[in-house]
Structure 1
Amino acid sequence: MKAEQTFATWVEVDLKALKNNIKIIRKETAVPLMAVVEANGYGHGYMPITRTAEEAGVDWFGVARPRMALKMREEGIKSNILVLGYISPERIEQMICLDVSLAIWTKEHIGLVEKAAANCQKSARVHLLVDSGMGRLGCHPEETLKLARLAEETDLVELEGLFSHLAKADESDREPTRKQELVFLKAIDVLDKEKLLPGIIHMANSAGTLAHPETRFQLVRPGLIIYGLSPSPEVQLPAGIEPILSWKSVLASMKELPPGHGVSYGHTYVTTKKELIGVIPVGYADGYRRGPGNAVLINGVKAPIVGRVCMDQFMVKLENVPNPQIGDEVVLIGKQGDEVISANDLARVWQTINYEVTCGIGARVPRIYPEV
C-alpha cells in the first residue's frame, strides 16, 4: 500500500542518496568521518540514517542525547559513538557500560566519570571539549592542560579525543574561523609538548568540513551536508550531493468559493472572484509554519497557500493547477515535475534556517524509506 493511501502527510527519505552523499564527503575529506545524527537525524529519522551510514563506512556517530546512544546500541550499532553535549550524572555509568564516548570540560565531569567507570568496572573514553570561541560548552583554552593532566592521572579514564566547535565557518569572512583555529592549535601544542595529546583531534562541522579544510584534523563531524543541505549560501556543496528528504501530502478536499468569501481563521484572505480552493491535511502541529509566500506543488505547478495555516490543515488556491483531483499528491518539500520547493525555500519564507525546517517536522509525521 502506498503512503498516500495510508497517511495524511509523510516524509520520504532516500537512503541511497544518503550513501552517495557520504561517499562524496569521504572522498572530499580523506579523513575519518563522524556522522552527526542529533535531533532525530536532523528530522530524517535517526535509526534508519544510522544503519545506512554505518553500512556506508562511517567511523563515528555524534549525538546530543544519551538516550539516542542507548537506542543505537540496542539496535545493534557497533560503530563508535560520542555524546557531544551534557549528560546527567545518572546516565554516565550507562554510557560507559555501552562503550559510548563522553564529552568532558570540567574537573567535576572527570570526577563523575571516574566514579561511574569504577561502578561499571570499565575504562571510560572521554573527549575534552575546548571552547575556542563558540561561547557555549567547553573549557577555557587555558584550562586545557590542567584538565588533560587530570584525566590522564585518573584511574579508568582514557583521554581519547580533543575537540572544539566552529561558530562562523558558514560565513564568507574567514577571519573568525581562523582565530578559533589558532586558539585550538595553541591548546593542541600545549598538550603535545607535555605528551598528553590524544589520538583523535576534531573541530570541523559541516561548514568547516567543506570551506575550511585546515580544520579537518583527524576527524570531521558533518551533520547537515550528509542530508544534502548546505549550511549557508556561502558554502558550496560538492557536485553530486543532493537532499535526501521529501515532505508530501494529498489534496483532501476542494470546492469553489464565491467572491468575497473569507478563508481560514481571521479571514486574512478573502476571495476576489469565484475561486477553487483546496484543503491539504497538514498544519503547524506537523511543523509546517505560517509564513507569507508559502506554496506547495500539485500536478507539477506551485499552488499558493491562502489564509492562515491551521493546526492540522491549510488551504491552497488551485486556479493554476491542471485538472486537480481529490487524492492528488502534494509536495511541501521536494521535486514534482520540473518544479522544486527546497528546505532552503521554506527557510526563507519562515525567516529561519534549513536545519530548523527539517528538524521541526513533527513526530506524528511518519518517515518512509521507499527502498527499505
Structure 2
Amino acid sequence: MSTLPDFQALAPAGMDFVADPYPLYAHLREQGPVHRVATEGAGDVWVILGYDAAREALTHPGISTDVRHSARWTSDGGQAVGGRNMLQTDPPQHTRLRGMVAGRFTARRIEELRPRIQQITDQLLDRMAPLGAADLVASFALPLPIAVICELLGVPEEHRDTFHEWSQRMVFEPATQAGAEAAAAMAAFLTELLRSKEEHPEDDLLSDLVRAEDADGRRLPTEDLIGMAFLLLVAGHETTVNLLANGTYALLTHPEQLKTLQAEPGLLEGAIEEMLRYEGPVTSSAYRWTAQDVEIAGQTIPAGESVLILLGSGSRDPGRFAEPDRFDIRRPRTAGGGHLAFGHGIHHCLGAPLARLEAAVAFPALLDRLPDLTLDTDPADAAWRPGLIRGLTHLPVRYTPVG
C-alpha cells in the first residue's frame, strides 16, 4: 500500500489523464493492485486496479454500496433523485429491488426488442447517410439508446431531449448548482410521470413498476419508485452511448481491425466484447464503502473508507490479458471471466443484454451503410469526458454521402 498525492497528478509526464488514463493505471498496478490516493472533491480514496483484486472487491460482503457506511456520512442529503436505488443498496433491499425489474432484462425479453432497435437504427442512418459528415455522438450513438430506453420505460417522446439534458448535468456536474437543479427537475418529472402511469397504465416498464409487488406482496413506495425510474433511465442510456461511440472510435483508430470486421462479420460478437474491454463505457464502479475492516489482495482497508474499483484498469491488467493495450477483435476469450466493463457480482449491470443487443444491431448497420467511415479529426484532439463515465463529447466522422 502507498499513501499517494492527488490521483490524476500521478499521470506520467506529458500524459493527459482524462484522454488516456491507462498509463497511470499501468504505473500504479506495477506497484500493487491496491492504493490509497487523494482525489479532488472526494478526499482520500482506496483504488483497486488489478483484475483479480477488482473481482474480489466487487463481491466482498464487507464492501458496501450504501453511503451510510462511510465514516464521513452525516445525512442523506446527497440522495439526488428519489429513494435508494439498486446501486445504493445492499441485500436484502438490493435483492428486493433488482428482483422487481430483472425479468424485463433477461436475454430472451431483450431479444424481443431487436426489430424496434433495428427500425430506430435505420431511421437514424437514413437521416445521417446523405450528409457526408456528422458528429456520430449527436447523430447516432446518443439518440439510439435514448429512444430505446425511453420506449422501454414509457417516457413520452416530447420529453426525451430535456431528460437527456438533465441526465448529462447530473452525471457530469453533480456538485454544481446546475446539477442540483437538474436533479430537482428530474425528480418532479418522474413523480408526475409515475402518477400518470398509475392512473393510465400502458405496456411499458414504468407502468409495470407502479403495479409490481415483491415476494411478500408489497409495492414499492413512491420514493423508491422514483429512484428506480431514475436509475433505469440514466444508466440505461449513458453507458450504451459510450459503448457505441468508444467502439466506433476504437475501430476508426485501428483501420486494420475495421477492415477485418467488415470482411468477416462473424467476428462481431468478439469485436463488441473487445470494445468493452479496451475502451469500456465506465472507467470505475460507483463509490463504495467498507462496512468493516476488509482485506483485498493482502492489503487491509479500515472500516468507513471510500473505495473505487477501477474497471478500466482491471480490463487492461497484463496479468489477465496478453498485450492488454492492443485492440484485437480476434482476442481469445479468457477462461474464468472476461472484461469488467459491466462489473461483477450482484451489482453486475442489469442492462448488459440490452447494451450488447443495441451494439449488435448498430455496428453492422453503420458499417454497411457507411463502409468508408473515417475520423474527421486528429485522434489527439478527441474530447473525452472526465469522471467515472468514459466517453467522447463529440466524434466527427466523414464518409461518402449515400441516398
More strand by share: 1
Pairwise same-fold verdict (TM > 0.5) = no
Please give the TM-score of this superposition, normalised by the length of structure 1: 0.28
Larger radius of gyration: 1
Please give the TM-score of this superposition, normalised by the length of structure 2: 0.26
